[in-house]
């Protein structure tokens, strides 16, 4: 289910970039990395999608001059970074055995 939601968010985010819909960019790209983390996607997929989402969203809102959306998107990006450590940090600190 999480991969289906990740696909929907990716579709929404990319569609928002193409058709200049700030809600699509915000929701789609903001929630894409989170869903991949919940699905247990490989770490590199989470990192690449997170980097793409952050850069694409920040550039989009910065160039559009939508300052409220930009600050809200920065907050969501910080939340995704916390999610990264939540989903993947536990695996590094757990003892092997």
| Tally of domains within the chain | 1
Global confidence as pTM: 0.83
3 state SS for the chain: CHHHHHHHHHHHHHHHHHHCCHHHHHHHHHHHHHHHHHHCCCHHHHHHHHHHHHHHHHHHHHHHCCHHHHHHHHHHHHHHHHHHHHHHHHHHHCCCC
Give the residue from 69, 79, 89 showing the smallest Cα distance to 34. 79
Domain that holds residue 39: 2-93
Per-residue pLDDT of the chain (97 residues; tens, 9 = 90+): 899 999 999 999 999 999 999 999 999 999 999 899 889 889 999 899 999 999 999 999 999 999 999 999 999 999 989 988 888 886 655 555 4
């Amino acid at each position: 289910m999480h991969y289906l939601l990740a696909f929907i968010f990716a579709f929404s985010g990319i569609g928002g970039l193409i058709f200049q819909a700030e809600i699509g960019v915000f929701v789609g790209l903001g929630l894409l990395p989170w869903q991949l983390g919940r699905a247990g996607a490989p770490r590199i997929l989470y990192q690449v999608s997170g980097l793409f989402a952050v850069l694409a969203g920040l550039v989009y809102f910065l160039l559009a001059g939508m300052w409220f959306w930009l600050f809200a998107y920065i907050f969501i990006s910080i939340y995704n970074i916390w999610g990264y450590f939540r989903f993947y940090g536990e695996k590094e600190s757990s003892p092997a055995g």
